[in-house]
Amino acid sequence: MEFDTAPFRLSGIVYGALLNHLPAIAALGDAVHQPPYKAPAAAPVLYVKPRNTLAGHGDAIVVPQDAPELEVGASLGIVIGRTACRVAEQNALAHVAGYTIVGDISMPHTVFYRPSIRFKARDGFCPMGPRVVPRGEIAEPDALAVRVEVDGALVHATTTGERQRSVARLLAEVSEFMTLSPGDVLLLGASAGAPRVRAGQRVRIEIDGLGQLDNHFIAEGGTP
């Protein structure tokens, strides 16, 4: 999937960030000090959503036979516009081309240590869209309302705030140890309490200023 309007030609490389929402970290309680975690993460906990996971606005998402329900993590997608390598936090946003809506789909799981590829990288598990909004049109990316509707009913309301790492800080800390290239997408991360859905349901993710991302879920082997 590509957004063809320069400079938003996506590379297909999407990086997710786990446990960036402070309430999600708090929900772990004392478990964060126990194995396998042993201590709160000192750096961003990343994972990759490979190209096979990419889907677009309006696409059907397949619910695998071994997963009766899926978790829908609504996330702000940070689209890289300039090569970012060891950028300072105060300059980080200058490397952002724009923002988009991402549905970070995963099979429900309770352990976030070294996230399993099989939970997060099934085909179609990363719908994005409907477009990339230029950075200049979003005055405060860390204060956007986020809503998730399932079959027309509001089931989750949060914001892009309450983050351990803001958009700029996350970009700065990630680029400290890896280079992000134009077209890459870095996810700010889903909020605590992400809703779950089953085959036959429709999901709409709305983020203020970015529009809405619609997808429907079908059983494996079903009709799109």
Asked if the model's pLDDT at residue 31 lies above 70, the reply is no
Lowest-confidence region among 39-43, 53-57, 103-107: 39-43
Domain assignment present for residue 66? The answer is yes
What is the total count of domains within the chain? 1
Return the closest-CA partner of residue 170 out of 187, 183, 184. 187
Q: Which residue from 165, 173, 6, 4 is spatially nearest to 81, judged by alpha carbons? A: 6
Query: Is 5 a member of any domain?
Result: no
- Domain membership of residue 49 (yes or no) is yes
- Residue 218 pLDDT greater than 90, yes or no: yes
Q: Does residue 7 form part of some domain?
A: no
Is residue 211, in this structure, part of any structural domain at all?
A: yes
Mean pLDDT of 23-42: 62
Please report whether residue 145 resides in a domain. yes
Q: What is the CATH number of the domain that holds 170?
A: 3.90.850.10
pLDDT at 25: 67
Here the tokens at position 217 are 């879920």
* Residue 173: domain span: 14-219
In a domain? residue 4: no
8 found inside a domain = no
